[in-house]
Structure 1
């Protein structure tokens, strides 16, 4: 997931991708048009999500900018911030909430204008302080959105899981802007609003860590990586080996399923093995471009990580699994 939810900061966006575009903490989409991304450490009084919308509607850009941190201000002057904010939201009169996810004491919000064109993504801490702000234009790929895989897939996990990123737009699925990962999912385990219990700097504290990862469809294993160390959680990622330990299964019809960020040494299959639905492939881990234990799952049209095209999954028993969905798999 890019990385996942950093319990102390942007863990939410962290979890985001696996094979993906970059660090999860600030860049939500490398392909968005004229983005403004912010890591905020405000020195002024915090405002709440509904107040942020009011400030944007009233064009109180100085007030918003005043809460942003020094790192952002070093890159963007007030004038530049005003230009970007005005570009996307001048004369906006209302916003629609597309998503709200509360996890690990952080709140992720996504809004669109009435036409679904201009978007806002923001993150607030437990005290309502703005940590992250991102403006963009909504990207749409209707031609591939309506297509589904020939194979009907089952969930690659069992038990209770949570969809942190998933769905067919970039506000609920960080991967959507990248063709190679457009319909990917990042899955974690959540209990009582947290993805971990105990020390957030230990992989073993995360509920998803070590849970079995299952073949979502029958096929032949065509790629296995099993020797990459798991990252320490909270802000450390392996950007050189972004998929981490992973398995790719060929389903024989131009469709390949990917299971990424697995635990080091946990992969129980080898290249050439034929697997059935539900066979154990390995264990959920925190390897590769990941900052928290999670499973990155997707289906694509080849086993070539950087040149493949992601395919929207046809699920058994469900139309889709979107961000914020709790899944109970048998």
Structure 2
């Protein structure tokens, strides 16, 4: 586990996003340190009522199309200025799973995804090198990752769209800072800028963004 000072980022989106699996609550935030994820944070896009999608029979008993979620396709922005060192695309945006039955079945496939490495976990993703760390933006929409390896991106520049690829049960953004995204990579604490205030780590259940 890292003891570095937090690496400060800009929020990588506009609109309203619900915080889940925050390192403000626990570390490792996702119950694992694998792939540099010890301080990762998840953001789920929501509407004005705080919902990611309407509830219906399929949300209770089955699976749902990712297009039914309000945030599917929302722009994902670079939270730092740096060099793009990895772009992975081509992973399918699979169905979303909010029902108990669908979630249990999905959990049983978790060991296989871990064995298959970072692409199976992160899905479509972009990695930006800033200073001596790597910033990972994961679960992007298939075919919408815009930069190429070697490009320099700037804060606020669009790098993709919110999707449901990889280890994802509904459209959301997984963001982490780490020294490596290899299996035994070390995570780095993160924080976010906000106007006229000190950087902060939003907590679970907090809605951030404009």
After TM superposition, is the score higher than 0.5? Answer: yes
* Corresponding residue number in structure 1 for 2:129: 250
Distance 2:178 2:135 in 1: 6
Q: Which has the higher contact order (CA 8 A, sep 6+)?
A: 2
* Corresponding residue number in structure 2 for 1:219: 82
Runs of at least 5 residues in structure 1 that lack an aligned partner in the other structure: 1-140
* Corresponding residue number in structure 2 for 1:267: 145
On the 8 A contact 1:169/1:176 being kept in 2, the answer is no
Matched position secondary structure for 1:282? strand
Runs of 4+ in 1 over 6 A off after TM superposition: none
On the 8 A contact 1:176/1:183 being kept in 2, the answer is no
Q: Among residues 164, 182, 194, which one is paired with 2:51 in the alignment?
A: 194
Distance 2:10 2:140 in 1: 19
Matched position secondary structure for 2:30? helix
Distance 1:225 1:166 in 2: 24
Please state if 1:321 is matched with 2:176. no
On the 8 A contact 1:210/1:284 being kept in 2, the answer is yes
Runs of at least 5 residues in structure 2 that lack an aligned partner in the other structure: none
Matched position secondary structure for 2:121? coil
* Corresponding residue number in structure 1 for 2:6: 148
- Match runs of 1:15-94 below 5 Å: none
Matched position secondary structure for 2:67? helix
What's the TM-score, normalizing by structure 2?
Answer: 0.78
Paired residue total: 182
Matched position secondary structure for 2:96? coil
Shift of 1:314: 3.4
* Corresponding residue number in structure 2 for 1:166: 22
Residues 168 and 230 (structure 1 numbering): CA distance in 2 closer, same or farther, change over 3 Å? same
Shift of 1:198: 6.3
Q: Among residues 269, 274, 283, which one is paired with 2:161 in the alignment?
A: 283
RMSD (CA atoms) = 2.2
Residues 169 and 176 (structure 1 numbering): CA distance in 2 closer, same or farther, change over 3 Å? farther
Q: Among residues 174, 180, 184, which one is paired with 1:307 in the alignment?
A: 184
Matched position secondary structure for 1:163? strand
Shift of 1:170: 3.1
On the 8 A contact 1:167/1:320 being kept in 2, the answer is yes
- Match runs of 1:88-127 below 5 Å: none
* Corresponding residue number in structure 2 for 1:208: 71
On the 8 A contact 1:224/1:247 being kept in 2, the answer is yes
